[in-house]
Amino acid sequence: MWHLKSNDLRNERLLLEESLFSIGNGYIGTRGCFEEAPELVSKTIRGSYINGYYERIPILYGESAYGFPAMQDKQPRIMDTQTSLIFLDGEAIVFEEARIRDYYRILDFKKGFAERGYIYTTTTGKQAKIVFKRLASFVDKNLLSYEINVNYDGNIEIASFLDSDVCNHSDANDPRVASGHERLLKLEKLYIENDLAFCEMKTHTTQIPVLAVVGYKAEVEGISSLLEHKLEAAKIVSRAMGRTQLTLHKKCVFTDGIRTNDLYKEALKIHEKYKTCSFTDLINEQEAYLNSYWNKSDIDIYGSEKIQEAIRFQLYHLLQSVGKDKISNISAKGLSGEGYEGHYFWDTEIYVLPLFQLTQPEIAKQLLLYRYHILPSAKQRAKELGHKKGAAYPWRTISGIECSSYFPAGTAQYHINADIAYSFIQYYLYHRDKEFMMTAGAEVVFETARIWLEIGHWHKDAYHIDNVTGPDEYSAVVNNNFYTNAMAKYHMNWANMLYNELREYDSTEFEKLCSKINLTADEVDKMKLASEAMYLPMDEELGIHAQDDTFLRKAVWDFEGTRNDQYPLLLHFHPLTIYRYQVLKQADTVLAHFLLEDYADLETMKNSFNYYEKITTHDSSLSSCIYGIMASKCGYYDKAYEYFMESVRLDLDNKHGNTKDGLHMANLAGSCLGIVNGFAGFRIKQNGISIAPIVPGELAGYRFKINYLGSWLEIDVKENISISLLKGNPVKITVYGCEYNIENLITLERKS
């Protein structure tokens, strides 16, 4: 299954399929809207976006306080290059189901483009075959291309737009979608020169320009035809006319003022490079790029085409949305929609990065370099929060500033510091790249670790961390959140180890780093002591790690008295009401057990799973995949499969009802981790890598690759387990507790 296909034309599917069939390349993304249907505009979210591009808007408070963010970033909708109206003998196409047959749309994961087509019947009974194709180049991130082909026995006209009249989508009733501040860009220049259409826009506050340069080519029955360009109000309309068969090629090049100082020079250089390329040429480029990607990153599923389709859908959309330079990251909705205003969260480090760490080290490194790039902003934020040293990374951001106006469930999530450090440490475990740690990683690890010495304190020979919020957003500003404390313990322990390893590796360069950030051995010794003495709340009677100091003293939420239409709770109950009860939005302690399984024995992890599962609503899309992974760890294989199926089809089946606002990127990655970390039991630790495979439910098996210490392994799990060394030096791997040295291929018996 190498494509997503739909034949559904129902209006209620429009918004959903705009997200599912969106295209992107990590820089530019555009939703899968219908080019030719202006009458549907009011029913759609007709957006295109540039990753890392932002406007700043004021945050309005009824009552503000010291340190509250005054401004927030927001990802603007950029100029529209999608719209292309079609006229047949002067009659405009009206998108009515009765006039359309043989409708289809495809997102091709192998060739990297989207296609849509149908046969249209005019009011006179004549028929036209119409096919639309679009592609965002993985080879050149600035390029977006369209092709429209119309076959019709009569006069054909295509009117294609470059439209600056754009505004963002908003929903005042849903905190997951922005409200207000819809028109974020102003038009600077709109003109035609040398048969190219130019549109430059700029953000109002940040004054960051964005440029689109659009080149057209029209063919009538394969012969080049002239185009007519006209400036109409805030848009340029380019018309192509012909008979029998008309094809319009449209190449759009985007540049922005964050990445280049000369938008026009850069855009024209790229346009010149591609101006003679056909759409087929671009597909061939895409396919070559994607062959390399799939050769490394594909997860083969045996026994279920439905699951295979979903896994490849997820792997493909992650590639389409993930930033590939230090300016950008991957937002909660990627480049597929406007939910969460294009903000980046800790989702990247705990869900998305682990997947790219497996097989795409260069992408993983760029995501880490983004965090290094915004380190100065995190250090400034730490000062605003009253810290003398260190860095406090924002809960949600684009440019590096804190964009959350609700601190109890935002800024108070100090675990973000440890999450980011964890991802740098994971990269180090995969590659032992001391040079990268010396130049970027260690500085982030040290600066973020400093915060634990500021917000923690000693009490009765133990180290405590008060007034924080863990991953669970239904419990806020608590003392000794288990997840936060466990991650801080790991973080500070590694800060100490890195200090010693890097000092030994290159003492001269390391001294320069320590001098740069004024880091002393005494400070690192304090981190080591705090780590060793970290308080991890435990309830001996229940045999579980308590989520925090007071969580288990609260009354349990009245689940029987809560109607199905009252979920998610955050849309129907005041936060204070939710905070007073034992109820979880998402995995918290259970997530800690996945990331740091050495901090609890298996019995405690099982007890915790059993207890917290009963009071978790999974209102967050980040939850089911983690419960599935931990169900595999605990030996609850039926549950593991159920949670996996809930996660793997979440967007395709619109299970949370809000896929229209964009795909759930963390869940896309988390579902894939459900195969690798869940069913295969893959773990990477300081002492090496390990697996403990199972094959649950209707699956017949699976196969995936790992890039570890410069070598490539392939894990193939069916009736038996085959582990192949594809490239590089021999690798040691632990399987079901026994260590094996992989020099070529070994086959082992799979436990049932």
pLDDT digits (tens, 9 = 90+) for 406-451: 999 999 999 999 999 999 999 999 999 999 999 999 999 999 999 9
Sign of the CA dihedral 261, 72, 21, 238? negative
Average of pLDDT values for 124-142? 97
- Number of neighbours of residue 90 by Cβ within 10 angstroms: 9
pLDDT single digits (tens) 70-99: 999 999 999 999 999 999 999 999 888 889
The DSSP code for 140 is S
Q: CB-based contacts of 574: which residues, under 8 Å, 6+ apart? A: none
CB distance 461 to 526 below 8 Å? no
Which residues have CB under 8 Å from 269's CB, separation 6+?
none
Q: What is the pLDDT of residues 256-309, one digit of tens each?
A: 999 999 999 999 999 999 999 999 999 999 999 999 999 999 999 999 999 999
Residue 178 has pLDDT above 60, yes or no: no
Instruction: Measure Cα distances from 525 to 66, 85, 424, 450, 506 in Å.
Output: 33, 68, 21, 12, 20
Residues 6+ apart with CB under 8 A from 281: none
Neighbours of 12 (CB within 10 A): 8
Give the whole-angstrom CA distance, residue 489 versus residue 492.
5
180 pLDDT more than 60: no
- Residue 89 tokens, joined: 């003998």
- Strands (DSSP E) contained in 491-635 are 538-539, 544-545, 555-556, 581-582
- Concerning whether 473 is annotated as a catalytic residue, the answer is yes
pLDDT at residue 457 greater than cutoff 90: yes
Q: Is the pLDDT of residue 171 over 80?
A: no
690: which strand partners? 683, 734
- Assign 43 to helix, strand or coil: helix
Catalytic residue among 473, 597, 646, 714: 473
What residues form DSSP beta bridges with 751?
Answer: none
Q: What is the mean pLDDT of residues 11-22?
A: 93
> What would you measure as the largest C-alpha separation in the chain, in angstroms?
87
Q: What share of the chain has pLDDT > 90, as a percent?
A: 92
Angle between helices 624-634 and 602-613 (to 10 degrees): 140
Under DSSP, is residue 592 helix (H, G, I), strand (E, B) or coil? helix
Mean pLDDT across 6-13: 89
Is the model's pLDDT at 692 over the cut of 90? yes
- Tell me if residue 550 falls in helix, strand or coil: coil
Token digits for 96?
């009515």
Does residue 316 have a pLDDT over 60?
yes
Nearest-5° Cα angle at 750, 745 to 752: 170
What's the pLDDT at 177? 55
Quote the DSSP letter at residue 472. -
Q: Are 586 and 480 in contact (CB under 8 A)?
A: no
Do residues 504 and 539 make contact, with C-beta atoms less than 8 angstroms apart?
no
By the 8 A CB rule, do 212 and 253 touch? yes
What integer pLDDT is reported at residue 752 of this predicted model?
Answer: 72
The β-bridge relationship of strands 209-220 and 196-203 is: antiparallel
Count Cβ atoms below 10 Å from residue 648 Cβ, excluding itself: 29
Contact in structure between 73 and 329 (CB atoms under 8 Å)? no
- DSSP conformation class of 75: P
Average pLDDT over residues 710-739: 97
Domains and CATH numbers, the chain: 3-53+74-170+177-265 (2.70.98.40), 305-684 (1.50.10.10)
Res. 225 pLDDT band, cuts 50 70 90:
confident
